[in-house]
A and B are shown apart, each in its own frame.
Chain A
Amino acid sequence: MEAGIPIWWISLLLPLFVGLYGLVDREKGKPLAVLSLIVLLIPGAALFYYWITGAVTSAVVDPVKIDLTRHGIGVFYLFVDGLSAPIVAGISIVTALVALYGLKYMSVRIEEMREAGETPPGIGVYYFLYNVFALSMLAMALSSNLIEFYFFLEVSLVSSFLLIAYYGYGDRRKISLLYFIWTHVAGALFLAGTLYYGINAGSFDIVKITSSGITYVSPAYTVLAASTKIAASLIIIGLFIKMAVFGVHMWLPYAHAEAPTPISALLSPNLIGIAGYALARFAIPLFPGIFQSLRDYLVILALTTIIYGGLVALRQTDFKRFLAYSSVSQMGYLLLGIATLTSYGIGGAMLHYLSHAFGKAVLFMTAGVFITELHGLRDIRKMGGLARAYPLTAAAALLGFMHLVGMPPTLGMWSEVLITIGVMKAYSTLSAPGLVALALALILAFGVSAAYAFITMRRIFYGQLKDYLKELGVKPGYEVFDYFKAVVLLVAIIGVFYFVAISPVMASLKPASELVSSLLAG
């Protein structure tokens, strides 16, 4: 369906304007926060409307397109279908609410940096970069063309890099550089594979958009030449680095732990997950044969990532670094779903993107609450017993962890169910020992997630209040319920809301996932 107004372009341009306003008015955060909240919510709200009306089931295409076919590029559409809908919703909701959250956090952070004798750019610059970062991620999810996607990928990289370099913690000069280099390497590998596709297909379009919906442009090659394999490997490795799969996750713990917390809350669930989305949206339709031959290895890699990330997370003493490793682990779930190459698994992965977006955003925001209100407290060893002082934050964090673990009433359950069905469908021909081994592997993977989630919940929130906290004057009733915590709780509650209101999401996710998996049948 073609939207009546250029809704997706509006969704991209309004944040840009708000950001530019931030450059003009550099020290006033409040109007910027509110404006960002509103404009970033637009795509989410529009999507919700299209979900209810069922338009997403085919695809909602922006009427404005950029036709570069004559220039060897293809057509830049902006569109949403069932596959990208969870991604768009996740980005819109999380970026909007974190924009509001960032007002208090960044005011405190900038103040703190200035007290330390540094001269960070004002909050206006923050909101400029923030909005550019948000809109670039949104644009990636809306893209119909590989170059279009890559274009915004790099925009998101530059904006997030600057955010880390300006406002990050620790050795932020080094870490921002490291973040840039690795993810740029990822982008370069992705682009290399992309170019190969472009040469063969004559354009970089992945989908053909017609009035009845979308169809994937089938690749111009059917026989798997050696260079096709190289191209596929380049794309897959590039996306894996971006996604921080085990083995190439090295950059993530630094970047996500040391970024200013609102940015961590965007980087961690939103940005890296897009690489997972790109696997399903671009990589599988391009190289179905390669994926089929790699399926078992990818599943093993996914399970390794889940378990590895989870267990290493358990050993972290820094709250944000813990969350960073947890993100590595969660990306394993995305990969697991995609690697099954079944419609359930792919749909489950997309849904997991959304639930991880809510869950991890909540958790990073929780970490941010303590950083802001307890003098930069990040060390889990100094935490403990915080639930009585911060009951609502604790409730939000519990919901956040439940998203990651996949417990109802959070959205995480649906993705868990779908991914599990996907795995069992992919391995429906197993013999008895194989079935038992697979079941044990899944139990181990899901179990490790539950373990790190609830053990950490206990370490931070339960038990007696640590002396360090008592000295800070923390006591029952310490929590002030302001907008800062309200948004944290709100994100968690939206996750619960989506658990209940899953009907339209699933209704549109089904045909989109099946469309992808149907490419694999041949």
Chain B
Amino acid sequence: MTPEVTVTGFLPWSLIWFISYLGAFILALLYLAGVKNEKVYGWGSVTTIALSALLATAAAKEVFSKGPIYSLYAKNWVPWLNVTLGTYLDGLGVVMALIVSWLSLLIAIYSVKYMEGDWGVQRYFFFFTFFVASMLLLVTADNLILMFIGWEGTGLASYALIGHWYTDEEEYWVGVPGRKALGQPMYFEPSHSGVRALMFTRIGDIGLLIGMAVIFLITGTFNIPALASSASTWMGYLATKGILLPLLLIFSLGALAKSAQFPFHEWLVTAMTGPTPVSALIHAATMVKAGVYFMLRFVPIFFAGAYALMHTNPAAVEAARQYFTIMAGLGAVTAFMMGTMALVSNELKLILAFSTASQLGYMFLGTAAAGLLLEEGYEGLATGVAAGLSHLMSHAVFKAALFLIAGWLIHVAHSRFIDPMGKYAKYMKITAVSIWLAGLSLMGIPPLSGFFSKESVLHAAEEAHLSMGYSLGVITAALTAAYTFRMILRVFHLEPYDKEKWHEPHEAPGLMLWPYTILALVSLILGLYWTGTGKAIGEAIGETLSVGTPAHLVVRLTTGVAVVLTLALASIGIVWALYVPMKVDFPRLIREKTWARVLHDFLYDRWYINSIYYWIFVSGFAGVAYLLSIVDFGIDAFYHYAIPVLFALGAAGLRALHRGRSNYYMMLYIYFAATLLLFIYLAWG
């Protein structure tokens, strides 16, 4: 089933990720050597990433023409764990590498201008490059350990870049300063957001690690192709022991956390404290897709395992089905939940962040749904997985564009809120066109790429008979159209809410303008040429581990598609009607009407989930820590007060026996001699 694999040495293909690590390393050395010139770092970073991108492109050519490549370092890196230094490039890996490297390149160029004059620019580009390398390693690693290293590397870079402005000036916060929900603050400093991101993802990563450990113990390898070909064996073994489902879920915790799926979605929204290019790259286009990549990689493997066990081990099949259903359900819930939050947000990047999590939910839904198509065999699987991948790709492109545009808008508005923004279309023609292109793609309007990919996802859910997931997906499609349209409408066309703070904007400088314009256009081109794009992705999936069958990503105009499209257009219409002809004064409505306020606050405060987490985990653990510190005090008092006092009393008591009178001593002496005699008598009676 797996196509013929070309095996090469470590060079050249492992350079895809290695060269970026090298770049990051050199940047670090330059910093230590005292080089301060920021251009060196910016363009140094761009150069390395460009090299990676070119290599990825060359690799893609190879893979598409000749099939998968396995680039392997001759010696075992970690002999004990059988960990190799290898790069496995199949259809999925190479498409991911392409997306990651080229997007990174564009965003790096944008960053050169965006970060100009920033006091931490050297650190920024170091972590940026480090991130790109880690992400490329993640998607091309031949084994789980290497993937985990990339995985954690992206986490580290994400932590560092979210907290890039760790001095925590108010302009870099997320949320309205002073706002509280259920008594918990709803505003987050960059350094706080960094810790949040790290904690949320770290918790998931431990799950991933546990899963890896168990699978390794059964199979004796971390090698992904080897795990794929032995899937039925180890899955069958786990199913016989009755732990397949919990294990798969634990294994997938890392993916859920990384891709900000409910209940781990909270970290992503506050990650917006990072510089906007970082949000575009890491928290929209690439890193958060790591979880989706994980699903794209492992759903086929789990599928293959379950498929092989279809007739011999019903327990395994049942567990796999439950797993796919749960993952799809989580995706759908996330998509819906985050969509509702985006509706009321007034922070530009936050709207996009909600939207990102929501769209990630789609990808989970589609990919997990693919696994459920067991009866349809590999063809069904391929189509579902291809749907997930295609949405990943189109989302990466348009969301990166949107974020990059947002970066510029926030710059010109001197505010992260959309209230002081408005009528920007008049001043920024190209930007307006770009945001419309990208926005329409997000809304799922044909002929943009987002339309096709989203429909493919929904199609997969429908095929898998996930009625709840499908319904939520459809509702979310409408929500998506509404919030995206509202955002563009308010920023680019309507009068600003907060007129006093409005500044006259101007078009972005070329280095920033062109990256997002290109991305918006790409989004359009991919859509226009969907027959080609879809085919390419379908073929790529055909070259993917455990899939082996090309997918057919052709969207036909079915009733379903019509309904979704109509709903999207209708919601656009409603938003338009509310804002333009009816001129509803939303702030006043919220102030005056209780129902409106309750609903608004519920959504604005993110369903109060954040507050609940803080009560349970932050306050809860703080409480436990307080109790434990009392316990610690008790332990300390026992050892360092009670015991010494006891001994001191004993010492004083024993010394008090020696009162210094001879007759008294003689009495004691004779008394004890007699006692000893008595004892000996008793013993030797």
Chain A residues near B (Cβ < 8 Å): 178, 182, 247, 249-251, 308, 311-312, 314-315, 347, 385, 387-388, 391-392, 402, 405, 407-409, 413-414, 416-418, 420-421, 423-425, 428-432, 435-436, 439, 442-443, 446-448, 450-451, 454-455, 457-458, 461-465, 476, 502-503, 506-507, 509-510
Complex CA–CA separation, A417 to B241 (angstroms): 24
Q: How far is the CB of A121 from chain B (nearest CB, A)?
A: 28
Q: Is the CB of B191 within 8 A of A506?
A: no
Known: A408-B153, A432-B243, A462-B168. A450 touches B209 (CB 8 A): no
Can you add 10 more A-B contacts, CB < 8 Å, to A409-B153, A413-B148? A250-B636, A311-B624, A408-B149, A417-B81, A420-B206, A425-B217, A432-B243, A436-B246, A454-B195, A454-B199
Say whether B214 faces chain A, with CB atoms less than 8 Å apart.
Answer: yes
Inter-subunit contact B210/A424 (CB<8 Å): yes
A421 to B207, CA, bound (A): 12
A507: chain B residues within 8 A (beta carbon): 79-80
Question: Cβ of A421 and Cβ of B217 under 8 Å apart?
Answer: yes
Q: Quick check: B245 and A311 within 8 Å, CB to CB?
A: no
Closest residue to B195 on the A side, CB-wise?
A454
Within 8 Å by CB of A424, from B77, B153, B169, B214, lies: B214
State the Cβ distance, A441 to closest chain B Cβ, in Å.
Answer: 10
Q: Are A424 and B213 in contact (CB under 8 A)?
A: yes
Which B residues are in CB contact (< 8 Å) with A463? 166-168, 189, 191
Residues of B within 8 A of A443 (CB): 203, 206-207
The residue on A at minimum CB distance from B155 is A407
A439 partner residues in chain B, CB cutoff 8 A: 206-207, 210, 246, 250
The answer to whether A314 touches B625, judged by C-beta atoms less than 8 angstroms apart, is: yes
Are the CB atoms of B199 and A450 closer together than 8 Å? Answer: yes
Q: A247-B635, A311-B625, A421-B217 are in contact. Are A447 and B203 (CB under 8 A)?
A: yes
**Within the complex, what minimum Cβ distance (angstroms) separates B374 from chain A?**
22
Interface residues of B (CB under 8 A from A): 32, 75-81, 119, 123, 145, 148-149, 152-153, 155-156, 159, 163, 166-169, 189-192, 194-195, 198-199, 202-203, 206-207, 209-210, 212-214, 216-217, 241-243, 245-247, 250, 621-622, 624-626, 628-629, 631-632, 635-636, 638-640
What residues of B have a CB within 8 angstroms of the CB of A450 in the complex? 198-199, 202
Residue of B155, B246, B626 with most partner-chain A CB within 10 A: B246
Closest chain A CB from B635 CB (angstroms): 6
Residues of B within 8 A of A311 (CB): 621, 624-625, 628
Asked if residues A407 and B156 are in contact (CB atoms below 8 Å), the reply is: yes
Find out whether the CB atom of B194 lies under 8 angstroms from the CB atom of A458.
Answer: yes
Chain A min CB distance to B212 (Å): 8
Most buried by B among A385, A423, A454: A454
Known: A417-B81, A428-B217, A442-B206. A462 touches B167 (CB 8 A): yes
Q: Which residues of chain A are within 8 angstroms of B628 by Cβ–Cβ distance?
A: 308, 311-312, 315
8 A-B pairs with least C-beta separation: A462-B191, A462-B166, A311-B625, A250-B639, A510-B80, A424-B213, A421-B213, A506-B80
- A-B contacts, 7 of them at CB < 8 A, read A312-B632, A416-B209, A420-B206, A436-B250, A439-B246, A454-B194, A462-B166
Once A311-B628, A312-B628 are accepted as A-B contacts, the answer to whether A405 and B202 lie under 8 Å apart by CB is yes
Which residues of chain A have C-beta atoms less than 8 A from B636's C-beta?
250
Query: Given A428-B217, A431-B242, A450-B198, is A502 in contact with B78 using a C-beta cutoff of 8 Å?
Result: yes
Residues of A close to B206: CB separation below 8 A: 420, 439, 442-443, 446-447
Bound-complex Cα distance A182 to B626 (A): 26
Contact yes or no, A503 B213, CB < 8 A? no
| C-alpha spacing A170/B199, complex, angstroms | 35
Residues of B within 8 A of A312 (CB): 625, 628-629, 632
Say whether B152 contacts A407, CB under 8 Å. yes
Chain B residues near A446 (CB, 8 Å)? 202, 206
Residues in B with CB closer than 8 Å to A414 are 78
Minimal beta-carbon separation of A388 from chain B (angstroms): 6
Alpha-carbon distance A227/B622, docked complex (angstroms): 44
Instruction: Compute how far the CA of A385 lies from the CA of B75 in the bound complex, rounded to whole angstroms.
Output: 45
Say whether, besides A312-B632, A463-B166, A413 and B624 are in contact (CB < 8 Å): no
Q: Nearest B residue to A385 by beta-carbon distance? A: B167
Nearest residue in B to A447 (C-beta to C-beta)? B203
Given contacts A409-B149, A417-B209, A443-B206, contact A435 B246 (CB under 8 A): yes
C-alpha gap A405/B198 in the complex (Å):
11
Given contacts A442-B210, A458-B191, contact A451 B246 (CB under 8 A): no
What is the chain A residue whose CB lies nearest that of B218?
A428
A470 to chain B, nearest CB (A): 13
Interfacial chain A residues near B629, Cβ < 8 Å: 312, 315
Give the complex CA separation of A365 and B638 in angstroms.
Answer: 32
The answer to whether B242 touches A432, judged by C-beta atoms less than 8 angstroms apart, is: yes
Taking the closest CB of chain A, its distance from the CB of B625, in whole angstroms, is 4
- Please give, as numbers and ranges, the residues of chain B lying within 8 Å of A250 by CB-CB distance: 635-636, 638-640
Contact of B625 with A420 in the complex, beta carbons under 8 Å: no
Most buried by A among B148, B167, B209: B209
Nearest opposing residue in chain B for A465, CB measure: B167
Q: Which residues of B contact A402 (CB under 8 A)?
A: 156
- CB atoms of B199 and A506 under 8 A apart: no
Which of A247, A388, A408, A457 has the most chain B CB atoms inside 10 A of its CB?
A: A408
Distance of A436 Cα from B253 Cα, bound (Å) = 12
Q: A443-B207, A462-B168, A506-B81 are contacts. A417–B145 as well, Cβ < 8 Å? A: yes
Q: How far is the CA of A247 from the CA of B638 in the complex (A)?
A: 11
For the complex, give the distance between the alpha carbons of A436 and B624 in Å.
Answer: 22
B640→A178 contact, CB < 8 A: yes
* Residues of chain A contacted by B169 (CB below 8 angstroms): 464
- Give bound CA distance, A223 to B212, whole Å: 39
**B263 CB to closest chain A CB, in angstroms?**
13
Are B243 and A315 in touch, CB under 8 angstroms? no
**Given the complex, which residues of A lie within 8 Å of B123, measured CB to CB?**
391
Q: Which partner residue on chain A sits nearest B638 by CB separation? A: A250
Q: How far is the CA of A387 from the CA of B119 in the complex (A)?
A: 12
Contact among B167, B622, B638 for A388, CB-based, below 8 A: B167
Whether A502 contacts B163 by the Cβ 8 Å rule is: no
Give bound CA distance, A423 to B214, whole Å. 10
Q: Are B199 and A447 in contact (CB under 8 A)?
A: yes
Residues in B neighbouring A424, C-beta threshold 8 A: 210, 213-214, 217
B168 to chain A, nearest CB (A): 5
A503 — which chain B residues lie within 8 A by C-beta?
75-79
A452 — nearest CB in chain B belongs to which residue? B625
A425 neighbours in B (Cβ, 8 Å): 213, 217
Indicate if the CB atoms of A458 and B192 lie closer than 8 Å.
yes
A188 CA to B196 CA, complexed, in Å: 46
Query: What's the nearest-Cβ distance from chain A to residue B4, in Å?
Result: 30
Which residues from chain B contact A451 at a C-beta distance below 8 Å? 199, 621
Most buried by B among A391, A405, A424, A429: A424
Nearest CB on A from B628, distance (A): 5
Complexed CA–CA distance, A502 and B79 (Å): 9
Q: Could you say which residues of chain A place their CB within 8 Å of the CB of B32? A: 392
B192 lies within 8 A of A435 (CB): no
Give the nearest-CB partner of A489 in chain B.
B32
In contact, A454 and B246 (Cβ under 8 angstroms) = no
Q: Are A420 and B202 in contact (CB under 8 A)?
A: no
| Shortest Cβ gap from A230 to chain B (Å) | 22
Give which listed residue, A251, A413, A429, contacts B152 with CB less than 8 A. A413
Closest to B629 in A: A315
C-alpha gap A424/B206 in the complex (Å): 12
Chain A neighbourhood of B81, CB < 8 A: 417-418, 421, 506
Residues of A within 8 A of B77 (CB): 502-503
Nearest CB in chain B: distance from A428 CB, A = 6
B167:A435 contact, CB within 8 angstroms: no
CA distance A461 to B199 in the complex (A): 18
The answer to whether B243 touches A430, judged by C-beta atoms less than 8 angstroms apart, is: yes
Residues of A within 8 A of B166 (CB): 387, 458, 461-463
- Closest B residue to A423 by beta carbon equals B213
Specify which chain B residues have a CB less than 8 angstroms from the CB of A387 in the assembled complex: 166
Name the residue of chain B whose CB is nearest to the CB of A347: B80
Interface-centre pick from B77, B78, B622 (highest chain A CB count, 10 A): B78
